[in-house]
Amino acid sequence: MNGFSNSLGVLDKLVAALNAHDIDAVVACFAEDYRNRTPAHPDRGFVGRDQVRSNWIQIFAGVPDITAAVTRATVDGSQVWSEWVMTGARADAQLFDMRGVILFEIPAQSIQSATLYLELVDMSGEGPDQGVRSVLAAPPHSKEQS
């Protein structure tokens, strides 16, 4: 199997495991020393698949009918650029709709690292002008000192 097929095969296994809500199969898609980066939320990054298990146990409980789909993907060596849609209803019956891009590093049979650019869909009704104003009015991203 070439790298292209292998990488997409691992991605297909991950999507199938997520949609089956099979936590063991989800975790098996990741390397023991898996590295997760979330540049827009740097404190959420982690190393190790134990946190993958913890995260998805919480997600499956919080969004019992979650489904995941990769709408587009491209492979460059061991890197996979993928666009995701994850939807369902939260346990409180509110809509869950998360979309974005995940960059995976899949050098062999498991995911070695991922950089996530996933966000909940903003249904606030802000148009482009208000959106820019909201971003500019946001507080600084640095932690406040006590």
Percent of the chain topping pLDDT 90 = 75
**pLDDT on residue 111:** 98
Q: What is the pLDDT of residues 25-78, one digit of tens each?
A: 999 999 999 999 999 999 999 999 999 999 999 999 999 999 999 999 999 999
Q: Helices H, strands E: what count in the chain?
A: 4, 6
Task: Please report the domains of the chain, with CATH numbers, ordered by start residue.
Answer: 3-137 (3.10.450.50)
CA dist list (Å): 26 to 39, 106, 113, 145 = 23, 15, 14, 39
User: What is the C-alpha to C-alpha distance for residues 132 and 119, in angstroms, rounded to an integer?
Assistant: 17
